[in-house]
Amino acid sequence: MKVSRRLHQLSEMVRDHYSHIWDCCCDHGLLGQLLLDRGQADCVHFVDVVPALMTQLEAHLQQTYSGKRWQVHCLDVARLPLSNYTQAGKPQLVIIAGVGGDLLMDLVTAICQSQPNVSVEFLLCPVYHTYKVRRALADLSLGLISETLVEDKQRFYEILHVSAAACEPVTPVGNRCGTSQIRFT
Ligand SMILES: C[S@@+](CC[C@H](N)C(=O)[O-])C[C@H]1O[C@@H](n2cnc3c(N)ncnc32)[C@H](O)[C@@H]1O
């Protein structure tokens, strides 16, 4: 499957195996399919608010990934039902990418505030307002697991992997987003 450099980098930043990974605002679900291919989770969840997209994606997954565990959810990411899938000691990974920073932070805030006792890691890639996103993540007491910068079609994207269990602070400007990560086409 051919995917953008940004989506490829996001998939590469999923290093651990998770019980549940949520590909949120998934559109055609390309990132979740990469993670299914790589066997990164017991179950990959695809979430978007557009019913027609989700119907089409479900049909595709039934044809292509009949032997793997996945679920399609047509719902607002702010209402993600993480607490229905908790397993003791195992964090779930929530990925939100390809949406603006303001929406992304509204979604992360809603998830954190509605389900404070669920163990969750976030992998985030906003398309704008990364500085604001970083400040908001720090305000939510989310700490940094890893971060990187990726160039894709002459645009730069920051990717942040964060969780409440991580101790390293999220800084307003990425300390670890070194130029060594930058690749030009
Ligand atoms: C540009 S696509 C991003 C696709 C993919 N995540 C990526 O990084 O390329 C944005 C998607 O977010 C979805 N979306 C926007 N707000 C949402 C919300 N509150 N809950 C679920 N999906 C949402 C839209 O329907 C759209 O399919």
Ligand 1 contact via 76 beta carbon (within 6 Å): yes
How much of the chain is in helix, strand and coil states, percent to nearest 5? 35, 30, 35
Interval between CA 33 and ligand 1 midpoint (Å)? 15
Q: Return the DSSP state at 165.
A: T
Ligand 1 contact via 139 beta carbon (within 6 Å): no
CA distance 80 to 76: 7
Q: What is the pLDDT of residues 129-180, one digit of tens each?
A: 889 999 999 999 999 999 999 999 999 999 999 999 999 999 988 776 654 4
Q: What is the pLDDT of residues 73-117, one digit of tens each?
A: 999 999 999 999 998 889 999 999 999 999 999 999 999 999 999
Tokens representing 96 are: 């939100």
Q: Which residues of 39-48 are buried (b: 16+ CB within 10 A; e: fewer)?
A: ebbebbbbbb
Ligand 1 atom 16, closest CA: 25
Q: What is the pTM of this model?
A: 0.94
Write down the pLDDT at residue 172: 84
